[in-house]
Amino acid sequence: MCLIHFHYKEHPIYQLIIVANRDEFNSRPTKQAHFWEDEPEILAGRDLLQKGTWLGISKSGKFAAITNFRDPRLPKRQYSRGNIVRNFLTASTTPKDFVDQLERERDSYGGYNVIISDGKEFYHYNNILNEKNEIPPGTHSISNHSLNTPWPKVVKGKSLLSNYLKNHPERIQISDLCDILMDREIAPDDQLPDTGVGLEMERYLSSSFICLPHYGTRCSTILLVDYEKNVTFVERTYEKGEFQFENRFEFKIK
């Protein structure tokens, strides 16, 4: 997961709105969103290589999503970052306690940001910067640095989501939220970060929707949780930039 815009509380209908893109190598085997056979409480896509996931929600209302921290100079670590999302969704610990545990184990994983919620608490953790944040109500965004780092696609997507929700306080269209994620505009060079991948790659990675021959946006996810604990989970799958199909799930949190 490389781009997550989200709105927490401060909406008349939804307590949580997630609008996210997962960017990954085209060759990495993936299964689309489903309730897992071995963990039937979890609704999420699945990385078939390491058996973790990038974004998911449980039937009990626990939510987690992760992005990589982009710095090619960082060493590889022992465990897959997708395990963090899976572990939180199956754990009985609170978000704060789980973040405290992640801090103690920060060197076990490659660079990441994770956001986690149990419906009562909402936390962000970045293991490279060792940042812990209890997320306040409002609109936020994460790409591959930290929470609300002002990269062009973070600033633009956050603004688009915030404005859309202000103009649509009651009726939200899934297709409108997906449109925010489909933006392929490349940011100007003077606005690009320097993460160590070179200027040409920084350009390609600056758009919300990425399409390279070997790498790109594999899926988009819209997650809505209202105050009555009704969940709507929509995942759109792409192959080399082309839409393939959409999966939709609806359930009520226990």
**Residue 233, token pair as written in the block:** 């989970």
Domain boundaries, the chain: 3-252
Q: What is the pLDDT of residue 170?
A: 84
Q: Which residues are paired to 64 by β-bridges?
A: 56, 116
Distance separating alpha carbons of residues 137 and 65, to the nearest angstrom: 17
Do the beta carbons of residue 143 and residue 2 sit within 8 Å?
Answer: yes
For the chain, percent of residues with pLDDT exceeding 90: 97
Q: What is the pLDDT of residue 1?
A: 64
Region 187-193 average pLDDT: 97
Instruction: Single out the residue of 50, 120, 49, 114 nearest to residue 88, CA to CA.
Output: 114
To the question of domain 3-252 being in CATH 1.10.150.570, the answer is: no
Which helix (H) or strand (E) segment holds residue 183: the answer is none
The Cβ-side half-sphere exposure at 132, using a 13 Å CA radius, reads 12
pLDDT per residue as tens digits for the range 74-125: 998 989 999 999 999 999 999 999 999 999 999 999 999 999 999 999 999 9
15: pLDDT confidence band, cut at 50, 70 and 90? very high
pLDDT per residue as tens digits for the range 28-82: 999 999 999 999 999 999 999 999 999 999 999 999 999 999 999 999 898 999 9
Q: What is the pLDDT of residue 22?
A: 98
169: pLDDT confidence band, cut at 50, 70 and 90? confident
pTM comes to 0.96
Q: What is the pLDDT of residue 171?
A: 86
Which helix (H) or strand (E) segment holds residue 228: the answer is none
Do the beta carbons of residue 147 and residue 140 sit within 8 Å?
Answer: yes
133: pLDDT confidence band, cut at 50, 70 and 90? very high
pLDDT per residue as tens digits for the range 142-168: 999 999 999 999 999 999 999 999 999
- Complete DSSP assignment for 47-96: ETTTS--SEEEETTS-EEEEEE---TTSPP-SB-THHHHHHHHH--S-HH
Instruction: Single out the residue of 100, 60, 70, 86 nearest to residue 2, CA to CA.
Output: 70
- Please determine, for residue 207, whether its predicted confidence score (pLDDT) is greater than 70: yes
